[in-house]
Amino acid sequence: MKSGYFGVFGGKYIPEILHETFVQLIAAYEEARKDPTFWDEYLAVMENYSGRPTPLTFAGRLTELFGGRKVYIKREDLNQTGAHKANNVMGQGLLVKRMGKKRVIAETGAGQHGMATATMAARMGLECTIYMGAKDVERQRPNVFWMQQLGATVIPVTSGSQTLKDAINEALRDWVGSMDTTHYLLGTACGAHPFPEMVAWFQSIIGIEARRQILQQEGRLPDRIFACVGGGSNALGIFHAFLEDNGVELVGVEAGGRGLTGHEHASRIASQKGTVGVAHGYKTFFLQDEDGQMRETHSVAAGLDYVGVSPILSHLHTTGRVRFEAALDHEVVSALKLLTSREGIIPALESSHAFAQAFKEIPQMPKDSISMINLSGRGDKDIFTIAEALEDQPWRDFIRQKAIQYFGKGVTP
C-alpha cells in the first residue's frame, strides 16, 4: 500500500511550499519509530511527568447495576492536563527536539489542545504560539489565561467566523513562513501523512497498557471496547492493541448532538451523512454540502465538534473492524451523571459519549461479559456547560452568574 494511505483514505494533500518540511518530518518520524531508545525516552517522560501507566479501574457499582456484567474504565483523565492529549503533545515534543526545531505552533478550538501544547513547550523549553478564533478566546478565558501563564503567545484570529477553521488557516500561514524553525503540532489523528499514523502511534500507549492490565486483572480480553470519536486519536489509541483480536468488538462513538436527522451533530460515519472528500490535507469522510463546503457541526462536547475524522478510522469502518454509533447530547449528560454519582469519577463530556453508548449496550450483553470504556479526559472543564444542563435551578443560576462575573458573557452557551 502507498505510504500514508489506509485503504483509499489518508494521503498528503499539501501546498508545494510545505513539501520539504513534510519530507523532513516523515524522515524524522520513521527514524524515531525504528529507534527503540526513542520509545524508551517517551515512556520515561510519560511515567515521570504524566503519571503513566494510567490505571484500568474496575467499576464495581456500575457492574452491580448491570447485573454482574463487568465494566472497566481506562483512566486517561489522570494524565497531565486531564486527558489523553498529553500522550500526543509529549511525543511530538520529543520529535521536535530530535529535529532540532525551537518553536511549535498549534491551533485550538476549545483550548484543551492549546493547553496541552503549552505545557509541553514550557517543559521542553520550546517557543510556543497558539492560534485561536477570537470568539473561542472569549468563550475559553480560563484556558487562555493558563496558556499565557505557561509562556505561550495566544493569537486571537479575527478573520472569517473567528472560530477553529479560521485559526487553522492562520496557523498554516505562520508555518509556511517559519517551517525551518517551527513544527506544526497537530492535535489528533487527522491531517496529511504522517500525522494520522504518528499521532495514533503515540496514543497506542493507551491500548498497550489496557491490554496488559485486563489480562492481569481478568485473565482474558474484554468483549467490547467503547471510545468517543472526535478526530479519532483516543479511540485509535485504545483500539490499536486489539485490532488483531477478532473476538474483541470495537465501538467508536461520535457526537449525535441534537439528533442525526438535521445537521446539528458531528457524526460523519454513524449518521451516514459524511461523504468522501479531500480537505485539511487528507482524504476521509467529511460533513460537507453538495458543493464540498464544510458544514457547521454541533456537539455539547467541543472536543468532538469537527467535520472530518481520522482516515485510519474511515478505513476501519469500511473494513467493518470498528462499528460506529452516535450518542445524543441529552444521553451524554445522563451518562455523565450516572458515572459521577455511581463511581466518583467526573468524565469529560467528550468521554461521556462512550459511556452513553456503553450504558445502552451493556444490559443486552451476556451476563459474564466484560466491557472496557476509554475515559479520554476529566470533566472539570465542562462545569459551565453541565450546569446549564442541570435541572437544579439554584446551582445553575449561581454557576452561570459566577461564570459571567469572572470570564465574561461568552463563556456560557
Ligand X SMILES: *Cc1c(COP(=O)(O)O)cnc(C)c1O
Which positions touch ligand X (CB under 6 A)? 83, 85, 112, 188, 228-234, 303-304, 348, 350-351, 376-377
> Is 20 tagged catalytic?
no
CB of 351 to ligand X, least distance (A): 5
DSSP per residue, 105-150: EEE-SSSHHHHHHHHHHHHHT-EEEEEEEHHHHHHTHHHHHHHHHT
Of the chain, the end-to-end C-alpha distance in Å amounts to 45
Sheet strand arrangement including 322-328: 56-58, 70-75, 370-375, 224-228, 249-257, 322-328
Min dist CB 111 to ligand X, Å, is 10
| HSE (side-chain half, CA atoms, 13 Å) at 403 | 22
The smaller minimum CB distance to ligand X, of residues 101 and 381, is found at 381
Q: Of the two residues 188 and 288, which places its CB atom closer to ligand X in the complex?
A: 188
**Which one of the listed residues 70, 74, 85, 135 is annotated catalytic?**
85
For 161, other C-beta atoms within 10 Å of its C-beta total: 12
Smallest distance, Å, CB 46 to ligand X? 17
**53: preceding bond cis by omega (within 30 degrees):** yes
Active-site residue identified among 267, 310, 314, 376: 376
Eight-class DSSP state of 79: S
Query: Mapping DSSP to helix (H, G, I), strand (E, B) and coil, where does residue 220 land?
Result: coil
CA distances in angstroms from 302 to 96, 338, 369, listed in the order given? 28, 21, 32
Residue 63 or 351: which CB sits closer to ligand X? 351
CA atoms in the 13 A half-sphere facing the CB of 195? 28
Supply 202's cell numbers: 503515540
> In angstroms, what is the minimal distance from the CB of 68 to ligand X?
29
DSSP state for residue 377 in the 8-state scheme: B
Instruction: State yes or no: is 85 an active-site residue.
Output: yes
The minimum distance between CB 232 and ligand X, in angstroms, equals 5
Contact 276, 348 (CB under 8 A): no
| Catalytic residue set | 85, 107, 376
